[in-house]
Amino acid sequence: MIYELAIIGGGPAGVSAAIYASRKRLRTVLVTESFDGQSVVSPEIQNWIGDIAISGQDLVTKMKNHLLAYKDNIVDIAEGSRVSKLEKGVDENGKTLFTITAGSQVYQAKTIIISTGSHRRKIEAIGSDTFDGKGVVYCATCDGPLFADQDVCVVGAGNAAFETAMQLLAYCKSVTLFNRGDQYRADPITVQKACANEKFNVVKNAEIKEIKGNKFVSSVIYTDKVTNKDIELPVTGVFVEIGLLPNTDFLKGVVELNSFGQIKIDARTAKTSTEGIWAAGDCTDLLYHQNNIAAGFGITALEDVFFNLHSK
pLDDT at 255: 98
CA atoms of 221 and 200, how far apart (whole Å)? 19
Q: Model-level pTM? A: 0.77
- The confidence score (pLDDT) of residue 24 equals 97
Please provide the size of the chain in residues.
312
What pLDDT is stored for residue 5 in this prediction? Answer: 98
pLDDT digits (tens, 9 = 90+) for 230-244: 999 999 999 999 988
Burial zone of 10 (CB within 10 Å; 0-12 exposed, 13-18 middle, 19+ buried): buried
Output the pLDDT for position 261. Answer: 95
| pLDDT by position in tens, the chain (length 312) | 999 999 999 999 999 999 999 999 999 999 999 998 877 767 678 889 999 989 889 999 999 999 999 999 999 999 999 999 999 999 988 999 999 999 999 999 999 999 999 988 899 999 999 999 999 998 888 889 999 999 999 999 988 899 899 999 999 999 999 999 998 888 899 899 999 999 999 999 999 999 999 999 999 999 999 999 999 999 999 999 998 899 999 999 999 999 999 999 999 999 999 999 999 999 999 988 889 999 999 999 999 999 999 986
Which pLDDT score, from 0 to 100, does residue 36 have? 86
**Who contacts 270 (Cβ-Cβ below 8 Å, separation ≥6)?**
113, 278, 279, 280, 284, 297, 300, 301, 304
Position 120 scores a pLDDT of 82
| Spatial separation of the C-alpha atoms in residues 301 and 64, rounded to whole Å | 19
